[in-house]
Amino acid sequence: MSQNDPDHQTDPHAVLLAHDRWANNQLYAACQALSQEQFTQPFPMGTGSLRNNLVHNLGAMRGWTDVLDETESRPRLEEGQHTLDDIIAMHDPIADDFQRAALRRPFDTIINRQRGDESYTFTVGGILAHVTTHSMHHRAQCLNMLRQLGIESLPRSSVMEWMLFADTQ
C-alpha cells in the first residue's frame, strides 16, 4: 500500500531537477581528486574530455534558459577554458536560473525559437525533460572517462541512487 510521503520529491519535474543538481555535484566531487592533466585528457567520446562535458552541460542549460526566457542567446560557455572551480562556481547560478525559467509557466506553454534559417517549436515541459536527460547522457560519458582514468570508486549518478541516498526535500 502506498501513501503520501512529505519528505520525498514526488512531482516528476521536481525529481528531474533535484536529481540533476545532485548528480552534477557528485561528479564535481569525484573530479576534485584529478590532476588538471586528467581533467582535460582527451577521450574519443562526448565532447572530448571531462572538463568539456561538464562545461557543455552547463552551457546547454544556460542556452535553454535563454530559450525559456525568450531572450537573445548569450555567448557559449564552451568557448572558455574553465577550471573545475569555475564550473562548480557557475553551477548553482545556472541551475537556479534554469529552474526559475522552467517553472515560471505551465509545462504546455509553447515557445517558438528561430535558429539561423530554421524555426523551432518547443514546450516548456519538453525543454525541461530534454535538459535533464541530456545532462544524464554526458554524465554517463564522464563516468566512462573516470573509469578509463583508473578511478575505481565512481560517483553515484542514477535517479535510483538519488532516491536511495539523497531524496529529502
C-alpha cell at 89: 562556481
Q: Give the list of residues 6+ apart from residue 18 with CB closer than 8 angstroms, or none.
A: 9, 162, 166, 167
Exposure string (b/e) for 135-164, b if CB count within 10 Å is 16 or more? bbebbebbbebbeeeebeeebebebebbee
Boundaries of domain holding 17: 12-37+44-160
Residue recorded with cell 575505481: 152
Quick check: is 169 in a domain? no
CA end-to-end span of the chain: 22
Quick check: is 6 in a domain? no
Quick check: is 132 in a domain? yes
Quick check: is 138 in a domain? yes
Instruction: Give the model's pLDDT for residue 80.
Output: 83
CATH number for the domain spanning 17: value is 1.20.120.450
Quick check: is 26 in a domain? yes
Quick check: is 66 in a domain? yes
Quick check: is 111 in a domain? yes
E strand or H helix at 68, and its extent?
A: helix 50-69
Quick check: is 3 in a domain? no
Tens digit of pLDDT per residue, the chain (169 long)? Answer: 345 665 777 899 999 999 999 999 999 999 999 999 999 999 999 999 999 999 999 999 999 999 999 999 999 998 888 999 999 999 999 999 999 999 999 999 999 999 889 999 999 999 999 999 999 999 999 999 999 999 999 999 999 999 999 876 5
Residue 78 in contact with residue 59, Cβ under 8 Å?
A: yes
The total domain count for the chain is 1
Instruction: Give the model's pLDDT for residue 9.
Output: 76
